[in-house]
Amino acid sequence: MKKFEIITILLLIALSNFAIAQFDNVGTSAATFLKIPVDPRGSSLSNAVVANANDPSAVYWNPAGLSQMKRTEVMFANTDWIADLNVSFLGVGVPLGNLGAIGVGITYLSMGDMPITTWLDTEGASGQTFSAYDACFAVAYARKLTDKFSIGLSVKYVTETISHSTASAFALDIGTLYDTGFRGLKVGMSFTNFGTKMRLDGRDLIIKVDPYPTAGSNPTDVIANLKTEEWSLPLTFQMGMSFNLIESETFRFTLNADYRDERDYRALGLVGGEFAFKEIFFVRIGGMKRYAVDETRGKFTLNAGAGLNLGIPGSSIRLKFDYSYSDLYRLKQAHRVSLGVVL
């Protein structure tokens, strides 16, 4: 079985290197909303959670993390994103004992109503509006192959809609997790958004054309379809570790460090720390090393957050409240909140 673990890890690394190498293009992906962190805990740790996602958010970060869940949990998270965008996430994780664990995740990005403008009405004076949204529906399964090694798989349906035009794709996420059993030391890897390409299609792309504009009398209202380009999903490879620097009955401090490589962006170095008091109150902080083509090169942005894990008197149900703040540099900041119910 250990040989199988090693082979699985090596194949995942090789696959990620091959796939990322095929698409070294900055800003050329569709469905980039898939890269927006969905939960406050992961965001406050600057996304350095590939080895430490052990709740329904594992459907997003690393499906193998579902294998760490002991009880069924439901999570709802909301992100106040940039430019009046809003991202909602609903996740459910259900442990199945020796059969593994399953998870479901729904991500929805709403953009609200926007005025319709044309080359004759650049200000949108007509009062007409259109809407746009993105959505992802994921079903994940994870299982422990040994007492230390887990693997997970997520199948996703991704869709983007602008007015009456829609693009869709199917994608796979693959993840592994190795728990050494020593002071919470875990090593995780995930390869996400490997799937089909997306192309917008719909009635907004139907036009009337004159096929022979230089000729005399001929039909000028021939119906035609505009054909848009295909775009790939934002392939992402992430690997990292998690380790308890402090571990006692009262206090815990966990350090996470990840490396993230995206097909449409440069590599990122991620680090995050979580301080826990009796596993009830949590303070988190994280940093992200960004590499860009302008003066933001080398900029180290900070994220922070806090959380509560409270029991309900007379019941085994627990409630989890989390909040995070993210520094987005020129785009200012983002705020996230979530509510989790452990059944």
CB atoms within 10 A of CB 187: 18
Tell me whether strands 222-225 and 101-115 are parallel, antiparallel or unpaired: unpaired
45 falls within a domain: yes
Using CA atoms, how far apart are residues 59 and 263, in angstroms rounded to an integer?
A: 20
21 falls within a domain: no
Task: Answer for the pair 322, 76: CB distance below 8 angstroms, yes or no.
Answer: no
pLDDT digit string, tens, across residues 84-114: 889 999 999 999 999 999 999 999 999 877 7
H/E element, 145? none
55 falls within a domain: yes
Which residue range is the domain that position 162 belongs to? Answer: 2-8+33-197+232-342
pLDDT digit string, tens, across residues 133-157: 999 999 999 999 998 999 999 999 9
What pLDDT does residue 15 have? 47
For residue 139, give the nearest of 97, 99, 186, 107 by alpha carbon. 107
25 falls within a domain: no
Give me the CATH number covering residue 256. Answer: 2.40.160.60
224 falls within a domain: no
Identify the sign of the CA torsion 93, 94, 95, 99.
negative
271 three-state secondary structure: strand
Tokens representing residue 260 in the block: 């993230």
18 falls within a domain: no
The DSSP line for 86-118 is EEEEEEEEEE-GGG-EEEEEEEEEEEEEEE---
The DSSP line for 43-91 is HHTTT--TTT--STTHHHH-GGGGGG--S-EEEEEEEE-STT-EEEEEE
22 falls within a domain: no
Q: Low-confidence residues of the chain, pLDDT below 50?
A: 4-16, 18-23, 293-296
What pLDDT does residue 2 have? 53
- Which backbone phi and psi does 244 adopt, to 5 degrees? -85, 105
- How many domains in the chain? 1
CB atoms within 10 A of CB 182: 9
252 falls within a domain: yes
Among all chains, which residue has been given the structure tokens 């729904």?
Answer: 106
